[in-house]
Structure 1
Amino acid sequence: MEEDAFLMVRELKRGGFEPAWERVDDEQALLAALQAQPWDIVISDYSMPMFSGVEALKLVKAHNDQTPFIIVSGVIGEQTAVEVMKAGAQDYFLKSAIGRLPHAVDRELRDAQARRKQRASAQALREMQARFNAFMNAAPMPTWIKDAQLRYSYVNPAQSAFYGMTPGDMDGLTDLELMSSGAAAASQENDRKVLEQKCELHTQETVFDHNHNARILDVVRFPISGEGKGDMVAGLAIDVTEREQSRRDLELAIQRQQLLSSRVIEVQERERQHLARGLHDDVGQSLTALKINLETIKKMGSLEGPSLQNGIDIVTAVLAQVRSLSLDLRPPQLDNLGLIAALRSYVEQKSKLANVNGWFESSGHDEQLHHDIENTAFRIVQEAVTNILRHARCQNIWVKIDRQHDQVYLSIRDDGRGFDIERARSNAISGTSFGLLNMEERAVLVGGSMEITSAPGAGTEIVMHLPVAPIVRRM
């Protein structure tokens, strides 16, 4: 009734409110009022001539379920009061107790404001969670959160895919169930360090993925609050396998370059020493003997006798020694007849001197190669045959060279005792053996490549692929 409305407004003003209010008594009027503007609270009689408080409550809650609703009635039973409270009313009281209306309104307004804040916070949290999930789902780097017991409580798709699983599959697992024992122990030790020291930690770790490939990961860990569940540790990883491999390859290349640089001087000095020894010990001594013979002939004044024949024999030996030294430095066939004749002569001569079988085969060489390629091929065969005769203890040596379009295929093979390739490479890097390194670098310098196949007791084959003309490698 209208008198009841004025009575409630008066009580609210007595309680310190200055209400802007509107009285309605049917469904259409209530809907129009609700749509016209937002209302802080609705106070309704339980029973009206053309409407009811229960129906009004349903309309208000359907329009905005956060609007407080209080029922005031002249006579309302306890059972009815329970029903309207279950339906969504915040409070009810009898008209005879209208004096408590301001306190009820004040309480409900404060509660409504708290509910709005709580609802806004929940909405903000959901939106933040949605943004977090969207970001993490799209992030290419593995990301995770572990609880205080170091069990996975969250992983993004990149992390689960690393182990060939789904995010749900990893929930509750530990590193011991995903990694090797050594990697898991190291990971958990780093996690505990983060939790104990409450600090960020950067590490580099090697972990096997679901394909059993070793991956090098740069890992960042940091502590986060577990919202009543204890401290937690979060982490993300960046796969740097290719970068680290490139860095190691570069370091190895620099190390090899430094070794080769020092090796160049060493080889030069060794060759000079070899040439000097040959000239002094062989040629020099022979010429000295020839001089003595000539002086003897001069004193005797006759060309007859053993001195003349000895002199001829000495000159023959000197010529052979000079030819041998010249062949070691650069065979004349390489300039006069080309690579094939030089290689054939070299293989036949060295195998005959070493009392092994030497086999040489060539094909596809209708045109002369670039002189740098010929030099490289000859020096590689020279180095390989020398190493074979020195170390392999073989019975046969096969050398094959074949030209196919713009590539030269070169193979040096033996049936000797073979060797451990990785150990030989390590010896080359450490500076104790340079044979393989020399051959490989000669091939690379002209744009070629080298492959080695060997094993203890199974012989050795060295295969070179060289261009027909040098390829300049630009930095």
Structure 2
Amino acid sequence: MPSAPHAPDIAAKPTRILHLEDSRVDHTLVKFALQRAQLPSELDLVDTLEDFQRHLSEQVYDLVLADYHLPGFTGLDAWQTMRTQGHDLPFVILSGAIGEEAAVEALHQGVSDYLLKDNMARLAHVIRRALEVSAARRAKARADAALAESRHRLAELAEHLQVSIEHERADIAREIHDDIGGALAAVKLDLAWLSRRTLDEDMRQHLDTALEMLQHALGASQRIMMNLRPPILDQGLVAAVQWLGASFERRTGIRVAVRASSERIEVPREVQLVAYRTAQEALTNVAKHASEASAVDIDLSDREGVLTLEVSDNGPGMSAEARRKAKSFGLLGLSERASKVDGWLDVSSSSAGTSIILSVPLEGGAGTHSDPEENHS
């Protein structure tokens, strides 16, 4: 049985259609076909490109319905004119003989759909579908724009948090150095003075034990201060990475080799901090996920106008679960940091080990190192 026609929707807003057609008869047939399909619509007829442009500028339409062969121009010309004017409307070509090649080209350029005039009964269906697709595309564009804005705000928040964290680290390191470190050093001097002057052997042993514990506390405070904001950063990136590698080797027993393209690599302060934190996080990951590793190689270069930091270990590689956890917290934060200085972070892991590579383009093109020989530490 034939399907029942669409029930009329009295409250439906009429579809505003700009009809580009040079035949009054065909225009009447279009109106009749839409009425028969019970598609509420209002049609404005134009037959020249000038009138077409004027109506688009002066009126608001929901859809354009255009013949393909028109005096002096084609429906595709009208489509391009509409796009040039900045309008984003569903555009349907209704033609007597458009030809397969022209139809494919029209669809390729972005025309919503096309229909032959001898199949006018499907016109309402084609128009409804074009309107639905256009509405879905616009909704997706709005959602994409909102998502992009959300990501941008999250990136700004992440940057703000990183800057705040670095400032807080510097403040805490300064307080440890000035207050805690100074107080511990003063107490150590007093205990040493007492130890030298006491004649009681038991008291001397207690004082010596206290001095040992105090020295341990001083070492711990210095280590914490260096991890928070190492003053060695003031001596340059190469020196800071070398110190970081040496400290890691002493603490874990894993051999660390640092290779640099020169003794001193000059980079902006924010790039230096990103590279240092990347090396620090990479070594932390080695301690967490590659405890079986026996060696770590750190390569630092500024050749060809790009700062490259690569930290590789010979451990068993990170498991899928460990990589997800690292990417969710440590490495993801490093990626955000890298993007803020126009760089990027690459992570690869296999049974042969894990490699973390930071790349940051430097201003001025060529690298700034002056020593062509590599500096090994």
Q: TM-score range by the shorter chain?
A: 0.5 to 0.7
Residue 343 of structure 2 is matched in structure 1 by 449
Residue 417 of structure 1 is matched in structure 2 by 318
Distance change >3 Å, CA 192–CA 388, structure 1 → 2: farther
* Equivalent position amino acid for 1:409 in 2: T
Residue 219 of structure 2 is matched in structure 1 by 320
Q: Give the match's secondary structure for 1:377.
A: helix
* Equivalent position amino acid for 1:334 in 2: L
* Equivalent position amino acid for 1:137 in 2: L
2:161 and 2:270 map into 1 onto residues whose CA distance is: 22
Which of 438, 441, 465 in structure 1 is aligned with 2:333? 438
Distance change >3 Å, CA 410–CA 204, structure 1 → 2: farther
1:254 aligns with 2:153: yes
Asked if 2 retains the 8 angstrom alpha-carbon contact of 1:376 and 1:442, the reply is: yes
1:137 aligns with 2:76: yes
2:243 and 2:276 map into 1 onto residues whose CA distance is: 11
Asked if 2 retains the 8 angstrom alpha-carbon contact of 1:373 and 1:467, the reply is: no
1:345 aligns with 2:243: yes
Distance change >3 Å, CA 460–CA 132, structure 1 → 2: farther
Asked if 1 retains the 8 angstrom alpha-carbon contact of 2:282 and 2:311, the reply is: yes
1:306 and 1:425 map into 2 onto residues whose CA distance is: 47
Please report how far the alpha carbon of residue 254 of structure 1 lies from its aligned counterpart in structure 2 after TM superposition.
Answer: 1.4
Please report how far the alpha carbon of residue 260 of structure 1 lies from its aligned counterpart in structure 2 after TM superposition.
Answer: 3.9
Which of 397, 401, 406 in structure 1 is aligned with 2:296? 397
> Which has the larger displacement, 134-143 or 285-294?
285-294
Tell me the alpha carbon deviations over residues 63-108 of structure 1, each in whole angstroms, 9 at most, x when there is no partner. Answer: xxxxxxxxxxxxxxxxxxxxxxxxxxxxxxxxxxxxxxxxxxxxxx
1:313 and 1:370 map into 2 onto residues whose CA distance is: 41
1:194 and 1:123 map into 2 onto residues whose CA distance is: 20
Q: Which has the larger radius of gyration?
A: 1
Asked if 1 retains the 8 angstrom alpha-carbon contact of 2:298 and 2:309, the reply is: yes
2:277 and 2:248 map into 1 onto residues whose CA distance is: 14
Which of 258, 264, 276 in structure 2 is aligned with 1:360? 258
Please report how far the alpha carbon of residue 285 of structure 1 lies from its aligned counterpart in structure 2 after TM superposition.
Answer: 8.3
Tell me the alpha carbon deviations over residues 26-67 of structure 1, each in whole angstroms, 9 at most, x when there is no partner. Answer: xxxxxxxxxxxxxxxxxxxxxxxxxxxxxxxxxxxxxxxxxx
1:382 aligns with 2:280: yes
Tell me the alpha carbon deviations over residues 127-177 of structure 1, each in whole angstroms, 9 at most, x when there is no partner. Answer: 96432994432325884479xxxxxx99944454379xx989xx99xxxxx
Asked if 2 retains the 8 angstrom alpha-carbon contact of 1:450 and 1:462, the reply is: no
Asked if 2 retains the 8 angstrom alpha-carbon contact of 1:287 and 1:314, the reply is: no
2:283 and 2:327 map into 1 onto residues whose CA distance is: 21
TM-score by length of 1: 0.44
2:266 and 2:249 map into 1 onto residues whose CA distance is: 26
* Aligned counterparts, 1:19-418, within 5 A: 129=67, 130-131=69-70, 134-138=73-77, 139=79, 143-144=91-92, 156-161=103-108, 194=128, 201=132, 203-205=134-136, 217-218=137-138, 248-262=147-161, 264-265=163-164, 300=199, 305-306=204-205, 309-310=208-209, 313-314=212-213, 316-336=215-235, 338-365=236-263, 368-393=266-291, 395=293, 396-414=295-313, 415=315, 416-417=317-318
Please report how far the alpha carbon of residue 293 of structure 1 lies from its aligned counterpart in structure 2 after TM superposition.
Answer: 7.2
Distance change >3 Å, CA 389–CA 425, structure 1 → 2: closer
Tell me the alpha carbon deviations over residues 419-451 of structure 1, each in whole angstroms, 9 at most, x when there is no partner. Answer: 479956983xxxxx2x22432343333x33113
2:159 and 2:300 map into 1 onto residues whose CA distance is: 27
Q: Which runs of 5+ in 1 are unaligned?
A: 1-119, 147-152, 173-189, 206-216, 220-239, 428-432
Distance change >3 Å, CA 158–CA 192, structure 1 → 2: closer
* Equivalent position amino acid for 1:466 in 2: V
* Equivalent position amino acid for 1:354 in 2: T
* Equivalent position amino acid for 2:272 in 1: E
Superposition CA RMSD, Å: 5.5
Q: Give the match's secondary structure for 1:417.
A: coil
Tell me the alpha carbon deviations over residues 438-465 of structure 1, each in whole angstroms, 9 at most, x when there is no partner. Answer: 32343333x3311323357574333222
Q: Which runs of 5+ in 2 are unaligned?
A: 1-22, 29-45, 48-66, 84-89, 95-99, 366-377
Distance change >3 Å, CA 470–CA 387, structure 1 → 2: farther
* Equivalent position amino acid for 1:450 in 2: W
Asked if 2 retains the 8 angstrom alpha-carbon contact of 1:399 and 1:413, the reply is: yes
2:346 and 2:209 map into 1 onto residues whose CA distance is: 50
Aligned-residue sequence identity (percent) comes to: 16
Q: Give the match's secondary structure for 1:252.
A: helix
What is the number of residues matched between the two proteins?
282
Higher RCO (C-alpha under 8 Å, 6+ residues apart)? 2
